[in-house]
A and B are shown apart, each in its own frame.
Chain A
Amino acid sequence: MSKVKAILGYTLASLSVPVLLATFFGLASWMNLLVAGTGLTISPWYSGGPVARTIDHATYQTRIHQPVFQALLGERREGFVQIAWSPREAVPELIDEEVDYNGDGQADFRIQLEKQTRQASLMPYSPQVIGLQGVYCLKEAWAIRASLKK
C-alpha cells in the first residue's frame, strides 16, 4: 500500500509542471470554458442587468434595463432600474423622456438629463419609483439609475 501511495505521489508531483503549463498556455480556452460552462455573468448590481427593451429614436436608442432587486435568496425590497442612451455621441444635449420601466403601458417616471452639466431631475409617476440614484457617462452611453421599491 505504501508503495502504491509513493508511486501515486511521485506521479502527481510529476504532473504538476504539465498542469501548470496547460493552465497558462491554454488560458484563453479555459477562460471561455469556465464562463460558458458555468453561465456566470457580472452581478446586475454592477452591470445594471440585462436590457429589457429598446426604444429607437431617429439618431439614438433608449435602453431600458431589467429592474434589479437581486438578493442571495429571493429579492430585496429596494433596487434600481438603469436607463441608458446610446451611442453616447449621438445623444441630444438635453434628454427629456417618460419611461415605462416595467412595460405595463404606463409611464413610471419622467427623466430630464442635461449632458453638459451632468445634471438630471426625475419626476416619479409611480409609487414604486423612489428617486434618482445617479447620472453616469459610460463608455458607449449616457445612463441614469432610478431607485425603486417593490
Chain B
Amino acid sequence: MATQAKTRSRAAGLGIAKSLLLTLPMLLLSTVLITQGQIPKDPLQLIAVLFTWLLFNISFFLMLFTGKTYCYRSLLFILMAFGLIVWFSTTVLEERGNIALSDENIINGEVPFCPLVIPMTIIPAAVTRTVIFPGSLLSGFAPIASMIVIWLGASLVVGRGWCSWGCFYGGLDECCSRIGKKPVIKNIDRKWTYMPYAVLLGVVLTSALSLSPTYCVWLCPFKAVTEYAAVTSTMVLIQTIIFVALFVGLVIVLPILTKRRTQCGLFCPLGALQSLINKINVFDLRIDTAKCTKCKRCIQTCPTFSLDESSLESGRPLLSCTKCGQCVDLCPKGAISYHIKGTSLNASPQAARLLFLYPAFLLMSAIGGWMIMVGFWRILKLITTGSML
C-alpha cells in the first residue's frame, strides 16, 4: 500500500522544469512579501531574510515537484507559530517594556489585535460602532484595522483554509500533534466537534452583553505564549490558571495523545466562524466516491476531525476542513483532491491544486514570512550578541 501511495503521489508531481517555471512567480512575490519592500542593511537581518526566502521558495518548489502538500506546509506552519512567539514577545518587550499587560497598557490602547477577537467584535461594532478591544485602530503594533482587512482578504481567498495556511497559532498544536508515532487516544466522539460552534456562540453572546472580549479575557490558551494580564487580583489569577490549563491541555497534551489539532478542531471559535463563512470561498476538497475504497485512512489522520463516514458517502469533507492537504497526500487511491466549486469532479485536479496553492502559499508567505524571518534574526542576534533585543 505504501509503494502504491508513493507511486501515486510522485505521479501527481510536476517535472523539474515545469516546477521551476511555476515557482518563478512565487520567487518574485515572496521577495516583496518577506522583505516588505526593503533589503535590510543589518547583515544578520539579511541572513535571516535570505534563509526565510530560500525556505519558502524551496518548499513551494518541492510542493510542485513532489505533488505533496502537507509536509512542506506543515514545516512552514510550525515555524510560523514559533516565529510568532519570538517576534511577538521581542516586539512587545521593545515597545511596551513588559509582556504582562497593565491597566495603563489597556487605556493607552497598546494591546496588539489578534484575529481570534474578530467574532466577538462584530455585534458590538454593528450596534455601538465601537470595537471592544483595547488596541489601536490604525497605528502601533498589529493595529485592529490591519488584522480585520487581512482576515477579510484571506477569508475571501482561502476560506477555512485560513486555519492551515494563515493562522499563526495553529502550528503549535500541529507541532505537538506530530510528536509520537501512534495516537494514544484513537476515538473521539463526534459530538466534541460541535464544541467550537458552542464556544463561538457563547463568546459572541457574552462579549456582546458585557462589551468585553470574553474569549480573550477568560479562555484564550495562546495568552500563555504571547501576552497576559498582570496578576493583580484573585480574578486575574483564576483567569491565568484557566488559560494556562487550556494551553497545556489543548495545545500540548491532547495533540500528543490524539495526534490531532485539538485546539483548532475542538475549541477555536475563529475556526468555527471560518467554517460558517467558507461558502464564500471557491476552493474545497472532494472525494471521488468511485475511487474511494473506504480504507478510512483519511478519517483516522485528518488533523481537524473534518472527515467521517458520511464524508466518504457524500464525497465532501465536513465544514471544518482546513484544506491542509493531509488526506490528499495520504489517500492510497488518489481519491481526494483539491477542487474548484462549480467545476466537475473530473476536471483537472492538478489545475485546481495549483490555483489553490498560489493564493494559499502567498498568504502564508505574507503572514508567516515576516514572523519566521524576525524569529530567526532574533535568534541569530541572541547567539552573536547575547541579547534578542
Contact = CB atoms under 8 A, between A and B. Distances in A.
A116 to B, nearest CB: 16
Interface string B360-385: 00110010000000000000000000
Interface stretch (A33-41, A55-63, A98-106): A33-41
A23 B109 contact: no
B211 A19 contact: no
Interface in A5-46: 5-6, 8-10, 12-14, 16-17, 19-24, 27, 30-32, 34-35, 38-46
Contacts of B146: 27, 31
A1 B124 CA distance: 42
Contacts of A44: 130
B129 A5 contact: no
B282 A6 contact: no
Contacts of A48: 107
A2 interface: yes
Contacts of B230: none
B149 A34 contact: yes
Contacts of A42: 109, 130-131, 133-137
Contacts of B358: 16-17
Interface string B126-151: 01111111111110000101101110
Interface residues on A, range: 35 or more
Given A6-B344, A42-B135, A70 B211 contact: yes
Given A5-B342, A71-B211, A46 B356 contact: no
Given A6-B344, A137-B104, A23 B153 contact: yes
Interface of A: 2, 5-6, 8-10, 12-14, 16-17, 19-24, 27, 30-32, 34-35, 38-48, 70-73, 82, 134, 136-139, 143
Given A17-B358, A45-B211, A138 B344 contact: no
Nearest to B124: A72
Interface string B15-45: 0000000000000010001000000000000
A41 B359 CA distance: 32
A31 B149 contact: yes
Given A9-B341, A72-B127, A17 B153 contact: no
B138 A45 contact: no
Interface centre among B131, B150, B342, B363 (most CB of A within 10 A): B342
A47 B128 CA distance: 14
A43 B136 CA distance: 11
Given A24-B150, A136-B104, A138-B108, A45 B212 contact: yes
A33 B208 CA distance: 25
A31 B145 contact: yes
A19 B124 CA distance: 28
